[in-house]
């Protein structure tokens, strides 16, 4: 896959700090860097549709899933629970990297892996 352009995303990861007594404090999202050439795609399956859906836990909120394709050779690899920011919005990374392997038959490296992201309003 040859992708030129795409988005530059900021990646935030929770870090557990310690207070002056050495006890863990609440996770604090910390900017760990950026990833260039990330492709963003809204969920487009016919069964899902491109629309917000009522959240199961809270009726006054809704959510929407999307996926991002990030370069496999980036210095930062996305992981579950990361927060990413681009285009003025914040998303949470869900699950594990998909397609983060060479093609099982040909060995071709397509250069990107896929991650699901969610947003809530």
The domain ranges of the chain are 7-17+24-50+60-120
Going by C-alpha positions, the residue among 115, 10, 11 that lies closest to residue 68 is 115
pTM of the model: 0.74
For residue 105, the model assigns a pLDDT of 93
- C-alpha 118/C-alpha 121 separation (Å) is 10
Annotate 57-84 with DSSP letters as a single string: S-TT-EEEEEEEEEETTSSS---TT-EE
Fold of 7-17+24-50+60-120: Thrombin, subunit H (2.40.10)
User: What is the residue-level pLDDT of the chain in tens, covering all 121 positions?
Assistant: 556 678 999 999 987 667 777 776 766 788 999 999 999 987 654 444 444 555 566 556 556 778 899 999 999 999 998 999 998 889 999 889 988 999 889 999 989 999 999 885 5
Q: Tell me, what DSSP letter sits at residue 5?
A: -
């Amino acid at each position: 896959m040859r992708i030129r352009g795409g988005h530059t995303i900021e990646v935030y990861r929770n870090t557990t700090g310690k207070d002056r007594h050495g006890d863990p404090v609440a996770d604090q999202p910390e900017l760990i860097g950026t990833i260039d050439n990330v492709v963003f795609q809204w969920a487009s399956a016919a069964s899902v549709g491109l629309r917000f859906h009522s959240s199961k836990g809270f009726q006054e909120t809704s959510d929407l899933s999307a996926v991002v394709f990030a370069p496999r050779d980036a210095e930062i690899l996305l992981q579950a629970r990361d927060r990413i920011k681009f285009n003025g919005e914040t998303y949470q990374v869900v699950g594990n990297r998909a397609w983060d392997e060479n093609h099982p038959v040909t060995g071709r490296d397509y250069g990107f892996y896929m991650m699901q992201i969610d947003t809530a309003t």
